[in-house]
A and B are shown apart, each in its own frame.
Chain A
């Protein structure tokens, strides 16, 4: 080791230790002096809620628990599969959220104690005045035979990150003439149009790079469940798509490279993307925030307070009962509305009635997109849809707007 290198090493390792010593831990927040909101989950809902509580009332301390050190956006991640975007272009840190005064701890909540108003993180605990839970979705591995034992081999790529990169790699490595199988779970699941956008991106990639290859889509639902006519029109450009509705996959055998449908059909694959059935994130289930279905959480439509536990608000994909899709845009809106509700409740002020909105773009090629927008009102204390509007077709202009939307909303949630 050269002297300069050794000096550098000692210097940087010293800095590393210093940083490790200074980095706040859960123990640092075991006591609370003023009012505190704890947020579980730093995705579309949670990161937004944490930021907006601070914006609405900087006197309230906000602690955000998020195990991942970086946020990877699910919207736009289908473009990573087709090679149109890089994973780096949809990956963001939490530093700007810290600059807003949010205490970001890269830990996972292990339990909630509603009566004591505490979140457990291993042996430590975090007291709160109000808790916002934005746990996203968890997969129901047991619903597909052979899946639980092969979680690492059968890719979902439905939480953007390493699996997205690995699925893109497998797609690129597939020989021309190969079969890519994409399976879609029954509704409700995260991002209703997402699998159909993915169908477009994989088909676009294959058409341009492996023209002899085929994409078989096995959909548990009877038909495309979102932007149906727009996707059908887009698929006219991709004769390599073999879409099969009402084909629920119930078994996977990675050794034989084969999936089996409910009807007993066996389908061979070279590359498989199996999107499993979903439920609310694990903490929502273990903390008894889910309803009788044991899958999703019912909430008050104005405050997002859980109907099961006081002072706990649930937002994002894990909620049910509002006429909204499980989308990033809706989670972002719920984050803001719940933050304002929580701040008003902590300040003994009335909660202003507000409804979320949904803006959802889907890329149908490398340069064209379609969109659906939903607006809502509050009626009788419930969120009610005012209108749904679709783009009249696909175009590059909607794709430009999609980029504008993404850049805006990533900033709205994270910095």
Chain B
């Protein structure tokens, strides 16, 4: 018991003094992610999602699904296994603690407007704000890069993302009813929502 107390004390004392942007157990692992996902998970590209501020439950599910090959990605499957190897909880906590940013990639205003008009079909699950519902495992759509959002919808539509996942049946069925052009408009809209 005293050892635990001392450890807690040491942690409490060491914590604030060591609060650099690359301190903490997840930070040194996460720097490998920044090549594609940007420093602190603040992705600047159109196709890689923003990880900064991502809730741990969603980050961990994504990594576990990539590592198990449920979400098929030749890029992410190896890296997911690497993250698991070095400590999934730490990396998830690191990204969750980073300042949430929105994508710097902008979309055509006409596409955003078309997407807004068609967005009601998304809000049933993701909410009027598009911020999702963690209690139901529904993620936040807002501010992510439009290319990333579009690719995910296309993967759902083709049943290439988590095939056989019962929870995703509704969203996949919905995607099959939406033309690809409208998926791009929806991506443009939700990407622009702050």
Contacts of A411 in B (CB 8 A): 38, 44
Whether A386 contacts B32 in the complex (CB less than 8 A), given A373-B75, A373-B79, A405-B45, comes out as no
Tell whether, in the assembled complex, residue A400 and residue B77 are in contact, meaning their CB atoms are under 8 Å apart: no
When chains A and B are docked, how far (Å) is the Cα of A52 from the Cα of B31? 9
> Chain B interface: which of A4-12, A161-169, A235-243, A332-340?
A332-340
Contacts of B34 in A (CB 8 A): 336, 408, 412
Contacts of B35 in A (CB 8 A): 329, 332-333, 357, 359, 405, 408-409, 412
Complex: chain A residue closest to B80, CB-CB = A375
Contacts of A55 in B (CB 8 A): 21-22, 39
When chains A and B are docked, how far (Å) is the Cα of A363 from the Cα of B45? 19
Interface residues of A in 36-81 (CB under 8 A from B): 52, 55-57
A148 at the interface (CB under 8 A from B): no
Tell whether, in the assembled complex, residue A386 and residue B85 are in contact, meaning their CB atoms are under 8 Å apart: yes
Tell whether, in the assembled complex, residue B32 and residue A354 are in contact, meaning their CB atoms are under 8 Å apart: yes
Interface residues of A in 382-408 (CB under 8 A from B): 386-392, 397, 400-401, 403-405, 407-408
A92 at the interface (CB under 8 A from B): no
When chains A and B are docked, how far (Å) is the Cα of A407 from the Cα of B48? 11
Tell whether, in the assembled complex, residue A387 and residue B78 are in contact, meaning their CB atoms are under 8 Å apart: yes
Contacts of B21 in A (CB 8 A): 55-56
Give which listed residue, B31, B44, B45, contacts A336 with CB less than 8 A. B31
Contacts of B71 in A (CB 8 A): none
| Distance to closest chain B CB from A330 (angstroms) | 10
Give which listed residue, A359, A375, A401, contacts B81 with CB less than 8 A. A375
When chains A and B are docked, how far (Å) is the Cα of A336 from the Cα of B43? 17
Interface residues of A in 347-394 (CB under 8 A from B): 352-357, 359, 371, 373-377, 386-392
When chains A and B are docked, how far (Å) is the Cα of A407 from the Cα of B35? 9
* Residue picked from B21, B82, B151, most chain A C-beta under 10 Å: B82
Tell whether, in the assembled complex, residue A389 and residue B29 are in contact, meaning their CB atoms are under 8 Å apart: no
Tell whether, in the assembled complex, residue A407 and residue B82 are in contact, meaning their CB atoms are under 8 Å apart: no
Number of interface residues of A (CB under 8 A): 42
When chains A and B are docked, how far (Å) is the Cα of A352 from the Cα of B39? 18
When chains A and B are docked, how far (Å) is the Cα of A405 from the Cα of B79? 14
Tell whether, in the assembled complex, residue B74 and residue A371 are in contact, meaning their CB atoms are under 8 Å apart: yes
B37 at the interface (CB under 8 A from A): yes
Complex: chain A residue closest to B18, CB-CB = A349
When chains A and B are docked, how far (Å) is the Cα of A400 from the Cα of B36? 13
Whether A404 contacts B147 in the complex (CB less than 8 A), given A57-B20, A352-B25, A387-B78, comes out as yes
Contacts of A388 in B (CB 8 A): 78
Tell whether, in the assembled complex, residue A389 and residue B32 are in contact, meaning their CB atoms are under 8 Å apart: no
Interface residues of B in 98-126 (CB under 8 A from A): none
Contacts of A356 in B (CB 8 A): 32
Contacts of A403 in B (CB 8 A): 45-47
| Distance to closest chain A CB from B91 (angstroms) | 11
Contacts of B39 in A (CB 8 A): 55, 412
| Distance to closest chain A CB from B45 (angstroms) | 4
When chains A and B are docked, how far (Å) is the Cα of A376 from the Cα of B31? 14
Complex: chain A residue closest to B148, CB-CB = A404
Tell whether, in the assembled complex, residue A52 and residue B85 are in contact, meaning their CB atoms are under 8 Å apart: no
When chains A and B are docked, how far (Å) is the Cα of A56 from the Cα of B45? 24
Complex: chain B residue closest to A392, CB-CB = B74
Contacts of B20 in A (CB 8 A): 56-57
Complex: chain B residue closest to A341, CB-CB = B28
Tell whether, in the assembled complex, residue A359 and residue B36 are in contact, meaning their CB atoms are under 8 Å apart: yes
Contacts of B57 in A (CB 8 A): none
Contacts of A390 in B (CB 8 A): 74
Tell whether, in the assembled complex, residue B32 and residue A336 are in contact, meaning their CB atoms are under 8 Å apart: yes
Tell whether, in the assembled complex, residue A400 and residue B46 are in contact, meaning their CB atoms are under 8 Å apart: yes
When chains A and B are docked, how far (Å) is the Cα of A377 from the Cα of B87? 11
Tell whether, in the assembled complex, residue A386 and residue B45 are in contact, meaning their CB atoms are under 8 Å apart: no
Contacts of B28 in A (CB 8 A): 337, 340, 352, 354
Give which listed residue, A354, A389, A391, contacts B86 with CB less than 8 A. A354
Tell whether, in the assembled complex, residue A333 and residue B32 are in contact, meaning their CB atoms are under 8 Å apart: yes
Tell whether, in the assembled complex, residue B74 and residue A373 are in contact, meaning their CB atoms are under 8 Å apart: yes
Whether A337 contacts B31 in the complex (CB less than 8 A), given A56-B22, A357-B79, A400-B147, comes out as yes
Complex: chain B residue closest to A377, CB-CB = B85
Contacts of B75 in A (CB 8 A): 359, 371, 373, 389, 401
| Distance to closest chain B CB from A247 (angstroms) | 31
Contacts of B86 in A (CB 8 A): 353-355, 377
Interface residues of B in 38-82 (CB under 8 A from A): 38-39, 43-48, 74-75, 77-79, 81-82
When chains A and B are docked, how far (Å) is the Cα of A397 from the Cα of B158? 14
When chains A and B are docked, how far (Å) is the Cα of A333 from the Cα of B22? 14
* Residue picked from A329, A337, A375, most chain B C-beta under 10 Å: A375
Complex: chain B residue closest to A59, CB-CB = B20
| Distance to closest chain B CB from A331 (angstroms) | 10
Whether A408 contacts B32 in the complex (CB less than 8 A), given A386-B85, A387-B78, comes out as no
Tell whether, in the assembled complex, residue B78 and residue A375 are in contact, meaning their CB atoms are under 8 Å apart: yes
Besides A343-B22, A412-B35, 16 other A-B contacts (C-beta < 8 A): A57-B20, A337-B32, A340-B22, A352-B25, A352-B29, A354-B29, A355-B32, A373-B77, A375-B78, A375-B85, A376-B82, A386-B82, A400-B47, A405-B48, A407-B45, A408-B44
Name 5 A/B residue pairs within 8 A (Cβ), A-sorted.
A336-B32, A354-B28, A359-B35, A404-B45, A411-B44
Binding site for A on B (CB under 8 A): 20-22, 25, 28-29, 31-32, 34-39, 43-48, 74-75, 77-79, 81-82, 85-86, 147, 151
